């Protein structure tokens, strides 16, 4: 092995000289030092230099100021704070729907709902339920501690609060089809004609999915196979969107870069089309540029589809405000659209989000969205 580099301490004055050598324009030493104090050299310069550097990646492009990097960082920080808040909102919806159906169909006692035989894939279920049981046993904070002391047991709606989103997704992966279908029905924007009626995946597939598929020449048996396959597509789409949300949530929670970040999971184009028309993204954008596939846009699309529709409306309101706040000056506007490009977001991505179907009600689609945004 070669000799390792030595890490040295550098003063802010040294950092400024180093940045000048790299052709970064410093409007004033005082301002530049204040920016480095508030953001840090690594978090500001090393984090974003590739977005403003020449091909050699050693020198900045012409006419790049340290304030450009500062605005760029602020744009990302503001967006991170908005999106993280809504991942928490989604997490609550997701966990509540899981806790409800576990309690209703399996039971509220740990001996019942942590019995691996109640789930699919016994080998995987045995490992996961054992892990969850261990998480519960070692938990020493309320409300779990209170339930263990007062009731000698912990119901699902308390236990799930102790699991991370990644652990919750892992638990969801072993759900039998009936329980999985219930959770999907709660998350996907589907609703019967009567608002109080139970959401039903079969009815949704029949009314909203199969009408986009060629079915005229199918016999009854083939039609049923297509219907079942379409139901599984909606279930898999939901699972994929949850995976994307988990990946981006972890990115947001650890303060990592949003630019160029993609999820390990990709969305199915045809299944996603039920909720996102070509006004949201075109086929060529999806397949050639990855827009809406596994990028930041796919994450925001997933949140809007799976969250409560009022949270979806609120998220778009917040994104509108974020854009306005970060495009007030020419400098901030330049940094804003530079940031969008680095995140694979179209300049009009917010207006595209307003065209996502968040409420499927047979013939009445998106009425609330249309009224809210005057579409």
Nearest to 60 by CA among 86, 89, 22, 87: 22
Do 87 and 23 fall within a single domain? Answer: no
- Give the model's pLDDT for residue 360: 46
Contacts of 18 (CB under 8 A, 6+ apart): 10
- Give the model's pLDDT for residue 332: 86
Q: Residue 202's pLDDT band (boundaries 50, 70, 90)?
A: confident
- Give the model's pLDDT for residue 373: 47
Rounded to an integer, what distance in angstroms lies between the CA atom of residue 220 and that of residue 224?
6
Taking residues 351-369, report their average pLDDT.
63
State which of 5, 39, 64 marks the end of a domain. Answer: 64
Do 146 and 227 fall within a single domain? Answer: yes
With a cut of 80, say whether residue 207 has pLDDT above it: no
**235 lies in a domain?**
yes
Do 44 and 143 fall within a single domain? Answer: no
**pLDDT tens sequence across 306-324:** 998 889 999 999 999 999 9
Query: Residue 354 corresponds to which tokens in the numbers above?
Result: 């307003």
- Give the model's pLDDT for residue 196: 43
Q: Do residues 303 and 87 make contact, with C-beta atoms less than 8 angstroms apart?
A: yes
Beta bridge partners of 247: none
Taking the CB of residue 208, how many other CB atoms lie within 10 A of it? 21
**4 lies in a domain?**
no
Do 150 and 233 fall within a single domain? Answer: yes
With a cut of 80, say whether residue 194 has pLDDT above it: no
Do 43 and 178 fall within a single domain? Answer: no
Least confident of 93-107, 200-214, 250-264, 314-328: 200-214
Q: Residue 140's pLDDT band (boundaries 50, 70, 90)?
A: confident
Nearest to 244 by CA among 224, 220, 222, 272: 272
Radius of gyration of the chain (CA): 25
Query: Residue 54 corresponds to which tokens in the numbers above?
Result: 């020449």
Taking residues 90-116, report their average pLDDT.
97
From residue 363, alpha-carbon distances to 5, 49, 121 in Å are: 66, 50, 39
- What is the 3-state secondary structure of the chain? CCCCCCCCCCCHHHHHHHHHHCCCECCCHHHHHHHHHHHCHHHHHHHHHHHHECCCCCCECCCCEHHHHHHHHHHHHHHHHHHHHHHHHHHHHHHHHHHHHHHHHCCCCHHHHCCHHHCCCHHHHHHHHHHHHHHHHCCCCCCHHHHHHHCCCCCHHHHHHHCCHHHHHHHHCCCCHHHHHHHHHHHCCECCCCCCCCCCHHHHHHHHHHHHCCCCCCCHHHHHHHHHHHHHHHHHHHHHHHHHHHHHHHHHHCCCCCCCCCCCCCCCHHHHCCCCCCCCCCHHHHHHHCCCCCCHHHHHHHHHHHCCHHHHHHHHHHHHHHHHHCCCCHHHHHHHHHHHHHCCCCCCHHHHHCCCCCCEECCEECHHHHHHHCC
Q: Residue 224's pLDDT band (boundaries 50, 70, 90)?
A: confident
Q: In degrees rounded to 5, what are phi and psi of residue 137? A: -65, -35
Nearest to 81 by CA among 240, 264, 315, 246: 315
With a cut of 80, say whether residue 99 has pLDDT above it: yes
- Answer with the residue of higher pLDDT: 202 or 263: 263
With a cut of 70, say whether residue 32 has pLDDT above it: yes
Do 29 and 168 fall within a single domain? Answer: no
With 0.85 as the threshold, say if the pTM is over it. Answer: yes
Do 200 and 109 fall within a single domain? Answer: yes
Q: In degrees rounded to 5, what are phi and psi of residue 348? A: -105, 25
- Give the model's pLDDT for residue 280: 96
Taking residues 129-158, report their average pLDDT.
91
pLDDT > 90 in the chain, percent: 73
Do 84 and 56 fall within a single domain? Answer: no
**5 lies in a domain?**
no
How many structural domains comprise the chain?
2
Least confident of 129-133, 202-206, 312-316, 365-369: 365-369
Q: Do residues 306 and 187 make contact, with C-beta atoms less than 8 angstroms apart?
A: yes
Do 203 and 114 fall within a single domain? Answer: yes
Query: What is the residue whose two structure tokens read 């949201």?
Result: 280
Contacts of 242 (CB under 8 A, 6+ apart): 94, 169, 172, 302, 306
**283 lies in a domain?**
yes
Query: Chain centroid to CA 120: how far?
Result: 26
Query: What is the residue whose two structure tokens read 């006004």?
Result: 279
Do 172 and 271 fall within a single domain? Answer: yes
**27 lies in a domain?**
yes
**353 lies in a domain?**
yes
**142 lies in a domain?**
yes
145 lies in which domain range?
77-254+261-373
With a cut of 70, say whether residue 363 has pLDDT above it: no
pLDDT > 70 in the chain, percent: 90
Do 48 and 103 fall within a single domain? Answer: no
Contacts of 128 (CB under 8 A, 6+ apart): 116, 119, 170, 171, 173, 174
Rounded to an integer, what distance in angstroms lies between the CA atom of residue 165 and that of residue 243?
9
Do 243 and 275 fall within a single domain? Answer: yes
Nearest to 68 by CA among 44, 46, 41: 44
With a cut of 70, say whether residue 359 has pLDDT above it: no
Query: What is the residue whose two structure tokens read 């180093």?
Result: 18
Taking residues 268-288, report their average pLDDT.
95
**2 lies in a domain?**
no
Angle at 123 between CA 131 and CA 106, to 5 degrees: 70
């Amino acid at each position: 092995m070669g000799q390792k580099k030595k890490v040295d301490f550098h003063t802010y004055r040294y950092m400024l000289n180093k940045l000048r050598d790299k052709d970064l324009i410093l409007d004033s030493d005082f301002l530049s030092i204040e920016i480095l104090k508030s953001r840090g050299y690594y978090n500001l310069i090393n984090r974003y230099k590739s977005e403003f550097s020449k091909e050699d990646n050693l020198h900045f492009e012409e006419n790049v100021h340290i304030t450009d990097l500062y605005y760029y960082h602020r744009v990302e920080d503001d967006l991170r704070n908005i999106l993280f808040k809504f991942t928490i909102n989604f997490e609550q919806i997701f966990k509540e729907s899981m806790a409800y159906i576990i309690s209703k169909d399996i039971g509220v006692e740990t001996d019942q709902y942590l019995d691996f035989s109640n789930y699919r894939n016994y080998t995987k279920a045995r490992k996961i339920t054992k892990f969850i049981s261990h998480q519960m046993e070692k938990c020493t904070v309320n409300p779990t501690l209170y339930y263990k002391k007062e009731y000698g047991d912990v119901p699902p709606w308390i236990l799930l609060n102790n699991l991370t989103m990644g652990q919750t997704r892992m638990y969801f992966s072993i759900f039998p089809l009936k329980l999985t279908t219930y959770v999907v029905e709660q998350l996907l924007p589907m609703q019967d004609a009567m608002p109080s009626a139970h959401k039903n995946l079969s009815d949704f597939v029949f009314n909203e999915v199969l009408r986009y598929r060629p079915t005229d020449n199918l016999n009854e048996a083939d039609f049923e196979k297509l219907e079942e396959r379409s139901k599984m597509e909606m279930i898999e789409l939901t699972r994929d969107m949850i995976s994307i949300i988990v990946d981006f949530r972890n990115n947001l929670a650890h303060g990592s870069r949003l630019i160029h970040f993609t999820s390990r999971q990709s969305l199915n184009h045809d299944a996603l089309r039920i909720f996102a028309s070509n006004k949201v993204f075109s086929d060529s954008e999806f397949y050639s540029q990855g827009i809406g596939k596994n990028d930041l846009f796919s994450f925001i699309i997933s949140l809007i589809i799976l969250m409560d529709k009022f949270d979806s409306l609120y998220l778009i309101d917040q994104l509108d405000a974020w854009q306005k706040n970060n495009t007030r000056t020419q400098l901030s506007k330049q940094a804003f659209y530079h940031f969008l490009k680095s995140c694979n977001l179209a300049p009009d991505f917010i207006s595209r989000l307003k065209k996502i179907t968040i409420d499927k009600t047979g013939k009445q689609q998106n009425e609330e969205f249309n009224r809210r945004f005057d579409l």
